[in-house]
Chain A
């Protein structure tokens, strides 16, 4: 075959988009020159380092961070230049940070190595020349025939060649890949030889790609010089590495993708890093502090040289310069002086802040996983934190994008009713109506005529045949990828038609007369979200070939005879407004030639290597025409527990909820009403295909007109945004809800006219931003991401959150600032790609309102406090330069400089940032409006930053000058002895440590024993350390500067008095502020909750039963 030679000529197989595999490495007769192609080996390498490159690589990675690099530079300056503080003061913390990080990363990498080895060294059986050889998994090469036994995981991606089961199938679970624990059936390649030894075949397949559910390939089988037979290969033939073989004794398969090219490995490549808004704030503050640092150093350097220019100041006789100093160039001296000042003041940007922030995030995220409220007894799992970097972002969410099915609703389908030929059949679960079907419910329907028995049975057969449901083997039950199908099959069962299972391409049905009917399954025309329908082609015993098709009304109606439509449409629409999911069922007889044509088309399309999807789609569309409509079904998808309460709380918290769903508008709308996203008084602005086609004019014109109209209504006539925020939850304000569908959205977004496009986009965004809820229906997964991206990049860069449970939500989960996965029924892709995963929608409320709020407050306070405490730490040192001839004399001892951030003041803030609950969780949950208080990064804006900075400056000035005036007479002891410069520094430092710690104590609203322990413990430790440090002549110190300084200080009454005075004076404004500020205590909150309860109660009472409301809601819509 041409393609084979092509790939061989290519040499480098990467250049071609398919690969060729020689099963069992046997050259095939068609190709005399057999060159074994090179593929990667089957080693999984998830580790980053080896023993050899760990140190350089890890150090390089760490110093790539700006902060670490900055500290390294400071350290190097200290080593090279004669600086006031020894290199140890900044080297030690840096070394500590680097070592801890390296150990952590090294440990993690070691774990990865261990896991890799476990996989790579796992023994596998490979068939080579008829012998079974045990090998280590990593030695498998592409083309090897591998044998796998029951309950083993597949060592690489295999094409199933042989199964021990009679029907040439095998069962696997992909729990470790996508979390779906149901058994999936995979098929052997049809018509391969039983004797694998003599099998002579090549496989041609696409290059590795990460999509777990896509695979195209074909197999050429060579038999005794005959023309090679070609078989198509699809995902049903491919066994993925990581999946487990179940219910099958053993299988043999040929390796197609190995090692890092397996789909599992391709899927585990890291997600892009999301950065939180807090981190951006930190960086901005850091810049400010860097400016402060540089300007301080510049001021000092300049003043130093101005001061020195006065005669006698530069070099008084008592302080002669060394010869080297005299010889040094003036400008070089200036530069080194500048660097020295930088080093002296560098503590203003502390290494430890990064460590503390990281620790806070890492440790803090445990509280989410530990929260038992997130534990769901059904799935026996709690919440999952995939990244701890975004904890505080949970407190900043402005937009929530939610999926409908499985997220707002349970995805737990129940068959409600059906209609056949326009007659309604409502199932009653009453045992009295054993006769079930023909005797339908209620007096209303008694009056109605029934469809003929023949039609009824045809409809039920259609329900029984048109699906991809499997019968679970051990127990009675059905497994399917879509819960709708299970509901339909179960529904049919209630009416007497039971699906018994699929065996060897034969579907068995137990009909009402307890006879088994057999149908040969010829083709399955799979469901896809674009077509929104699926079909089967079956052949009955009688020989008739039938096509059954079911799908969304919009996709079925155009494909059936129009006169049938009207009878059914009414039912479908009524069901949809009631919030049910509706499907239409159609069928047609295929004549022999029609079938032959369809069969040929399908087979051809399935064999195509390129554009297989499109080709299949074309054939499907061709086959599914001219059908006749039999009826429609209505399936109820129940709302998630507390969905409405959750949505209401989130809206009360000022978040805008957008529902993005693939479902149809009516269903989605009623779900929105049920979830109280739309209220009775909500005015709905609709922008859908229906409204566009109303005026009878061109769609584009109508779109333009509607957009302007809505814009006027929702944006221009609405009160200004600020007022709207406070009023949107009061009843007097007009709420707007916006509805748009996928088709219209793409018209808005992909307007051909450039200028119109951006204008429409803006209009659309503005309208949406002024609506309390937005519903986007009929969305493709990519459109969901598009919307998220659009909002994310809109003015003000609002923080977005996406929540979903299915694979179709992954794109929006990845796109949003925070992605939340629901551990739902549709597999685990959403969970895997999310930042946080929770079992149920209702948990979102606590996650955001309680955890998010607290995390944000904690980390914001942490950041501000860190900057504050280092500002008032370094400011006295800066001021001291004015009194020591700008000689870079440190005010504090080196030990204090080093330990300040590491030991004396780090633990209380860490404990605070982990435990603080300025408002207790229950109150936060009860009063969603509290969430608004921290909206828009309220605690990390420039205002609060300025406040903290001024506070730091105030404290720094107070500490320095307070002690300065005390030292106007340095005889502070009652024995007349005088204190020196280290006593000065120690007094300032003591005041400093006590003040910053007590300031934190003042801010702490939630004193657990840990807070007590850490705050009082830190202070005690400081006192103890100071005694200890000054109590011993330390042999390793060059100068015993602090020897007995602290003890002597404590023996002075004046020192005591000034310390007490300065601490109190520093905290006095804080205390006053606390008193005069709004009440913050728990009692006050309770009062607040009582008063606001009245406000919240009224909309709640307006939530009438769903059905009653749906009639009135039409009157609320504009169109």
Chain B
């Protein structure tokens, strides 16, 4: 009896899985499927490509370099690192209406925010408002951990090197300067502002910073970053948040302000403008450039010709391929199609 059971055990299970006979779908990429497929994909891509291209074309961009390398540049004076509190202004004109909302970016080149050591040089605990790390910042922040044995808050290279040029934009109306209101809200990621970065829950905020010092490069402590809006101070200052999100490439731009209010909600009307720059940020030492960029955005974001062109190229490639295949197919007949 036992033996018989054993014999039955020996017989392999006759299941689809053990016999490698699971029902299977065997896809056939025959010309009959591939050619129409390619045509469809090609058409779709060309469609998307045209949409992207047109959209991208319709986006207006105005770039103004204010590094001041050239001697005739209004900011040449300020580019000397020894000059303090230097102000300069750039004049420009807009021919047609710059459709709103207009986004105001600042851009830096040859600036390695993606440097590994630079990127690691911050204390996430400190930035999430943990007071423990105010007095004892992470060693990652070195050499911006302590300043004369006092802990730096916010510590680290990224915070220390925060971009500190400020801009004011004026429209010249009938010879007088009319300030264009700049909106500094909503320029950083919502989650950064609301979740990731937190001020310590101490009121007034200033008390939390007792016994700490501001970063070496900063002119004001963190709790005084925005004197106009008390809710825009500390670690949740929007400019600070924008700066803390490291750029991917050495030539980058970051959002500075949006122009959404008042007379300019519809955009910047044609006319002459003056950009007043508080020139503080040194870039010449590493061959960098500074610029401001005015741009409006579309559903696809900022101006980017690459995507539209790529779609058009790939789309037409697909169409060409399908034509070639069709010719081959008509001439030689694919072996599997009888």
Measuring CB to CB, which residues of chain A are less than 8 angstroms from any residue of chain B? 84, 312-313, 316-323, 366-367, 369-372, 374-375, 380-382, 883-885, 887-890, 915, 917, 920-921, 962, 964-985, 1004-1011, 1033, 1037-1040, 1043-1044, 1048, 1052-1054, 1057-1058, 1061, 1064-1065, 1068, 1071-1072, 1074-1075, 1078-1079, 1081-1084, 1087
Given contacts A318-B157, A320-B157, contact A1053 B12 (CB under 8 A): no
Q: Is the C-beta of B307 less than 8 angstroms from some C-beta in chain A?
A: yes
B196 touches A885 (CB 8 A): no
Instruction: Name B11's contact: one of A312, A372, A967 (CB within 8 Å).
Output: A372
8 more A-B contacts (CB under 8 A) besides A921-B20, A966-B307, A972-B304? A319-B157, A367-B18, A371-B20, A382-B11, A970-B252, A973-B301, A978-B254, A1075-B31
A927–B286 Cα distance when bound, in Å, is: 69
Nearest B-chain residue to A917, judged by Cβ: B20
Instruction: Name B117's contact: one of A883, A887, A1040 (CB within 8 Å).
Output: A887
A35 CB, min distance to chain B CBs, angstroms: 49
Instruction: Name A367's contact: one of B20, B115, B258 (CB within 8 Å).
Output: B20
Most buried by B among A84, A318, A966, A1075: A318
B249 touches A883 (CB 8 A): yes
Instruction: Name B302's contact: one of A318, A375, A976, A985 (CB within 8 Å).
Output: A976
Q: Is the C-beta of B311 less than 8 angstroms from some C-beta in chain A?
A: yes
Q: Is the C-beta of B246 less than 8 angstroms from some C-beta in chain A?
A: yes
Given contacts A971-B255, A976-B103, A1079-B336, contact A319 B118 (CB under 8 A): yes
A-B residue pairs in contact (CB < 8 Å), sample of 15: A313-B286, A317-B285, A321-B117, A371-B18, A372-B11, A380-B11, A887-B116, A964-B249, A970-B248, A973-B301, A974-B301, A975-B186, A1033-B128, A1064-B314, A1068-B314
B175 CB, min distance to chain A CBs, angstroms: 32
A883–B304 Cα distance when bound, in Å, is: 20
A1039–B246 Cα distance when bound, in Å, is: 13
Q: Using Cβ atoms and an 8 Å threshold, which residues of chain A touch B318?
A: 1068
Q: Is the C-beta of B310 less than 8 angstroms from some C-beta in chain A?
A: yes
Given contacts A883-B114, A964-B249, contact A1038 B22 (CB under 8 A): no
Most buried by A among B13, B30, B250, B258: B30
B297 touches A1072 (CB 8 A): no
- Of B64-72, B187-195, B205-213, which stretch is located at the interface? B187-195
Nearest A-chain residue to B128, judged by Cβ: A1033
A1068–B298 Cα distance when bound, in Å, is: 30
Q: Is the C-beta of B278 less than 8 angstroms from some C-beta in chain A?
A: no
Instruction: Name B189's contact: one of A366, A382, A977 (CB within 8 Å).
Output: A977
Instruction: Name B52's contact: one of A367, A372, A885, A1057 (CB within 8 Å).
Output: A1057
Given contacts A320-B157, A968-B306, contact A1053 B299 (CB under 8 A): yes
A984 CB, min distance to chain B CBs, angstroms: 4
Q: Using Cβ atoms and an 8 Å threshold, which residues of chain B touch A1084?
A: 335-336
A-B complex: 3 closest residue pairs judged by Cβ atoms: A318-B161, A971-B302, A984-B248
B112 CB, min distance to chain A CBs, angstroms: 5
Q: Using Cβ atoms and an 8 Å threshold, which residues of chain A touch B113?
A: 981
B112 touches A316 (CB 8 A): yes
B248 touches A1052 (CB 8 A): no
A370 touches B19 (CB 8 A): yes
Q: Is the C-beta of B214 less than 8 angstroms from some C-beta in chain A?
A: no
A375–B115 Cα distance when bound, in Å, is: 64
Measuring CB to CB, which residues of chain B are less than 8 angstroms from any residue of chain A? 7, 10-14, 18-20, 22-31, 34, 41, 45, 48, 52, 101, 103, 105, 111-122, 124-125, 128, 138, 140, 142-144, 157, 160-161, 186-189, 191, 195-196, 242, 245-250, 252-255, 258, 282, 285-287, 295, 297-304, 306-307, 310-311, 314, 317-318, 321, 325, 334-336, 338
Instruction: Name B253's contact: one of A317, A371, A970, A1052 (CB within 8 Å).
Output: A970
Nearest B-chain residue to A1073, judged by Cβ: B29
A748–B7 Cα distance when bound, in Å, is: 49
A975–B250 Cα distance when bound, in Å, is: 23
Nearest B-chain residue to A1012, judged by Cβ: B25
Nearest B-chain residue to A340, judged by Cβ: B116
A313–B287 Cα distance when bound, in Å, is: 9
Nearest A-chain residue to B296, judged by Cβ: A976
A20–B259 Cα distance when bound, in Å, is: 106
Given contacts A966-B307, A978-B253, A981-B247, contact A971 B295 (CB under 8 A): yes
A974 touches B245 (CB 8 A): no
B183 CB, min distance to chain A CBs, angstroms: 11
Q: Using Cβ atoms and an 8 Å threshold, which residues of chain A touch B20?
A: 367, 371, 915, 917, 921
Q: Using Cβ atoms and an 8 Å threshold, which residues of chain B touch A316?
A: 111-112, 285-286
Q: Using Cβ atoms and an 8 Å threshold, which residues of chain A touch B258?
A: 976
Q: Using Cβ atoms and an 8 Å threshold, which residues of chain A touch B196?
A: 1033, 1040, 1043-1044
Most buried by A among B20, B29, B196, B317: B20
B242 CB, min distance to chain A CBs, angstroms: 8
Q: Using Cβ atoms and an 8 Å threshold, which residues of chain B touch A320?
A: 143-144, 157
B248 CB, min distance to chain A CBs, angstroms: 4
Q: Using Cβ atoms and an 8 Å threshold, which residues of chain B touch A1065?
A: 314
Nearest B-chain residue to A1047, judged by Cβ: B191
A1079–B26 Cα distance when bound, in Å, is: 13
A888–B120 Cα distance when bound, in Å, is: 12
A321–B282 Cα distance when bound, in Å, is: 18
A981 touches B248 (CB 8 A): yes
B287 touches A370 (CB 8 A): no
Q: Using Cβ atoms and an 8 Å threshold, which residues of chain B touch A84?
A: 116
A1051 CB, min distance to chain B CBs, angstroms: 10
Nearest A-chain residue to B112, judged by Cβ: A885
Q: Using Cβ atoms and an 8 Å threshold, which residues of chain A touch B160?
A: 318
B115 touches A319 (CB 8 A): yes
B19 touches A972 (CB 8 A): no
A1037 CB, min distance to chain B CBs, angstroms: 8
A132–B121 Cα distance when bound, in Å, is: 82
A241–B175 Cα distance when bound, in Å, is: 114
A760 CB, min distance to chain B CBs, angstroms: 47
A1010–B48 Cα distance when bound, in Å, is: 35
Q: Using Cβ atoms and an 8 Å threshold, which residues of chain A touch B188?
A: 977
A523 CB, min distance to chain B CBs, angstroms: 40
A884 touches B310 (CB 8 A): no
B195 touches A1052 (CB 8 A): no
Nearest A-chain residue to B245, judged by Cβ: A980
A810 CB, min distance to chain B CBs, angstroms: 24
B307 touches A971 (CB 8 A): no
Nearest A-chain residue to B216, judged by Cβ: A320
A380–B306 Cα distance when bound, in Å, is: 68
Q: Using Cβ atoms and an 8 Å threshold, which residues of chain A touch B25?
A: 1007
A422 CB, min distance to chain B CBs, angstroms: 50
A973–B186 Cα distance when bound, in Å, is: 13
Nearest A-chain residue to B284, judged by Cβ: A312
A967–B114 Cα distance when bound, in Å, is: 14
Q: Using Cβ atoms and an 8 Å threshold, which residues of chain B touch A982?
A: 246
A338 CB, min distance to chain B CBs, angstroms: 15
Most buried by A among B23, B138, B286: B286
B120 CB, min distance to chain A CBs, angstroms: 8
Q: Using Cβ atoms and an 8 Å threshold, which residues of chain B touch A973?
A: 297, 301
Nearest A-chain residue to B103, judged by Cβ: A976
A486 CB, min distance to chain B CBs, angstroms: 25
Q: Using Cβ atoms and an 8 Å threshold, which residues of chain A touch B22?
A: 915, 1008-1010
Instruction: Name A318's contact: one of B27, B118, B338 (CB within 8 Å).
Output: B118
A985–B310 Cα distance when bound, in Å, is: 20
A1074–B19 Cα distance when bound, in Å, is: 28
Q: Using Cβ atoms and an 8 Å threshold, which residues of chain A touch B111?
A: 316, 318
A973–B10 Cα distance when bound, in Å, is: 64
A746 CB, min distance to chain B CBs, angstroms: 43
A437–B10 Cα distance when bound, in Å, is: 45
B119 touches A1064 (CB 8 A): no
Nearest B-chain residue to A318, judged by Cβ: B161
Q: Using Cβ atoms and an 8 Å threshold, which residues of chain B touch A920?
A: 26
A626 CB, min distance to chain B CBs, angstroms: 52
A399–B22 Cα distance when bound, in Å, is: 33
Q: Using Cβ atoms and an 8 Å threshold, which residues of chain B touch A1011?
A: 24
B248 touches A969 (CB 8 A): no
